[in-house]
Every structure is written in C-alpha cells, then in structure tokens.
C-alpha cells in the first residue's frame, strides 16, 4: 500500500465520512489509536484465526500472514464498526451535558458558584469544602476559568464550581507566585542518552504517550524542559536497549536546535 494519500473515517452527524488527502503518517496515527480488525481474506496464511488490524495493514506489520488490503477495504470496515459506536457515544455526551447543566444549576442555588464571578489569580486563596488552599495554577477555556490547581497532594486540580470563597493575593504575593510557577524553556539538543527522532516520527507517537520533562539545573546549566516519549511507542529501530515502559528524552533531528540556558542567565 504505497498510496501517497490515505483516508480514515470521521463521524459528523448521522453519516460516516472520510478526511481527504490524509498523509501516511496521519493514517498510521489514527489507526494506532483505534481498534479496527479486518476479516480474514482469501490468501491469508493457513491457521490464522483472526484478521489483521488496520494499523497492522497500514504498517505492513505481518506480510507473511496477511495478503494486502486496499485502503477502501480498511475504511469501509472502520465505517461500519464506528458508525454504531459513535451513535452510542453521542447519546452519552448528550446525557452528561444535561447532567452537568443540572448540577451547575443546583450548585448555583446553594452558593457554590461564588468563585465563577472572580478573576482568580495565582497566589490567591480559595475555600473548598470548608478548607483554604493556595492557588498554584489557573486553567481557562474560552476566556472562562474552569479549574484551579491548589497546594495539596490529593486531588490537586479542582473545578471552579466547588470553590465557595476566594481571597485575592497581595501584589507582592501575586508576583512571587507567578515567578515560581513559570515553566522552564523548552530546549532541543542532542543530550546524553537522548532518542534521535524526526518530527514526523515524533508526531506519530500518540499524544497521551509523549510530552515534556524538566531537567533540573546542574553546574553551569539552568533548569529546562525537553521532549520525552514512552519507550513502547518509539520507532522500532530506536527501541533496542531502552525500557519500553519508561519515558525517554527526545532530540528532534530536523527541528531547530535550542541549547539549555546558562545558570547565571536563567
């Protein structure tokens, strides 16, 4: 399957459609994140009990077991299976949306939405379930505060709906808290034991299994962040000798290099 463009199913309304001109990398990423198993086909190896997955066919994972499937075959199987699933998910989404609306109405009547009208700032204090906590981070969506991170090791992220009172920080407290919460810069360099990957290989790693990790200050180098990915989803030629269940620092070979800042410049 050497086609330059691929299409995998999307769901909008009642009809299953496909995104046109999807690249091979995009198609592999979608196939890796879904569960689509194709039926057996004449020419498959004898003794095989189950058909291949969509990802297995797109990546040509077992050429000795399965004869090639066309992209149209893969798409049609995916449409048939996920068409039914999405209808179920849409009903649950509607149910949860109505439930959240009901809960917010009840909380508003009880006064638990008092914080919604406040411009909560890092360094301020919020009351939750009768206890006061310091605000470490504020998360906004569409310009509206949806949650805060507080100074506790248990359930650190709290939705704004549970806040009953808010105390703004003094100017010097707000400045100090903001400086302490500032994230170190993201760097890209070939460090010791770093996995060397291209941008395309990085994008092929599922988002839930790649991210950034902080490297603490050491000697003349200040603290900074680098990309990291879990071993099991690294390109196969880069997995040897690496723990499949640990996250490994990543260097993007085709992206601009950015070295860690000096300690005296941080």
Strand duo 247-252 + 195-197: pairing: parallel
Per-residue pLDDT reduced to its tens digit, 213-259: 999 988 888 999 999 999 999 999 999 889 999 999 999 999 999 99
Same domain, 13 and 85: yes
Q: Please give the pLDDT value at position 200.
A: 94
Which residue among 158, 181, 204 closes a domain?
A: 181
Q: Is 53 within the bounds of a domain?
A: yes
Confidence grade of residue 164 (pLDDT, cut at 50, 70, 90): confident
Q: Please give the pLDDT value at position 5.
A: 40
Q: Is 143 within the bounds of a domain?
A: yes
Residues in the chain: 266
Q: Please give the pLDDT value at position 197.
A: 94
Is pLDDT above 60 for 1? no
Q: Is 67 within the bounds of a domain?
A: yes
Number of domains present in the structure of the chain:
3
First to last CA, the chain: 50
Full domain range(s) for residue 53: 9-90
Q: Which residues pair with 171 in a beta bridge?
A: none
Which residue among 181, 213, 233 closes a domain?
A: 181
Same domain, 20 and 83: yes
Tokens 């085709």 sit on residue: 254
Which residue among 58, 90, 122 closes a domain?
A: 90
Q: Please give the pLDDT value at position 2.
A: 38
Could you give the CA distance from residue 17 to residue 83 in angstroms, rounded to a whole number?
10
Strand duo 163-167 + 125-128: pairing: antiparallel
Is pLDDT above 70 for 156? yes
Reading the block at residue 72, the tokens are 């149209």
Q: Please give the pLDDT value at position 114.
A: 56
Same domain, 84 and 15: yes
Could you give the CA distance from residue 78 to residue 34 in angstroms, rounded to a whole number?
9
Q: Please give the pLDDT value at position 116.
A: 61
Q: Are 161 and 109 in contact (CB under 8 A)?
A: no
Q: Is 190 within the bounds of a domain?
A: no
Q: Please give the pLDDT value at position 95.
A: 95
Report the alpha-carbon angle 188-192-198, nearest 5. Answer: 45
Lowest mean pLDDT among 23-32, 119-128, 200-209: 23-32
Same domain, 51 and 77: yes
Is pLDDT above 50 for 28? yes
Q: Is 208 within the bounds of a domain?
A: yes
- Is residue 115 classed as helix, strand or coil in its secondary structure? helix
Q: Are 243 and 201 in contact (CB under 8 A)?
A: no
Same domain, 160 and 208: no
């Amino acid at each position: 399957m050497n086609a330059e463009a691929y299409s995998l199913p999307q769901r909008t309304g009642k009809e299953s459609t496909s995104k046109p001109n999807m690249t091979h990398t995009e198609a592999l990423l979608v196939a890796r994140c879904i569960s689509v198993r194709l039926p057996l086909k004449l020419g498959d190896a004898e003794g095989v009990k189950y058909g291949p997955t969509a990802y297995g066919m797109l990546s040509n994972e077992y050429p000795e077991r399965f004869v090639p499937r066309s992209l149209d075959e893969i798409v049609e199987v995916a449409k048939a299976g996920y068409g039914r699933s999405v209808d179920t998910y849409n009903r649950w989404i509607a149910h949860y949306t109505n439930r959240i609306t009901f809960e917010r109405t009840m909380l508003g009547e009880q006064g638990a939405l008092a914080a919604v009208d406040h411009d909560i700032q890092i360094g301020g204090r919020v009351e939750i379930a009768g206890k006061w906590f310091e605000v470490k981070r504020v998360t906004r969506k569409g310009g509206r505060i949806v949650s805060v991170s507080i100074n506790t090791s248990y359930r650190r992220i709290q939705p704004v709906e549970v806040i009953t009172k808010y105390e703004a920080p003094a100017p010097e407290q707000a400045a100090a808290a903001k400086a302490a919460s500032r994230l170190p810069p993201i760097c890209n360099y070939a460090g010791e034991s770093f996995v060397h990957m291209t941008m395309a290989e990085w994008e092929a790693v599922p988002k839930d299994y790649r991210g950034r990790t902080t490297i603490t200050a050491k000697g003349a180098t200040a603290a900074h962040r680098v990309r990291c990915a879990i071993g099991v989803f690294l390109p196969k030629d880069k997995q040897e000798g690496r723990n499949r269940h640990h996250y490994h620092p990543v260097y993007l070979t085709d992206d601009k290099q950015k070295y860690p800042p000096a300690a005296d410049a941080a």
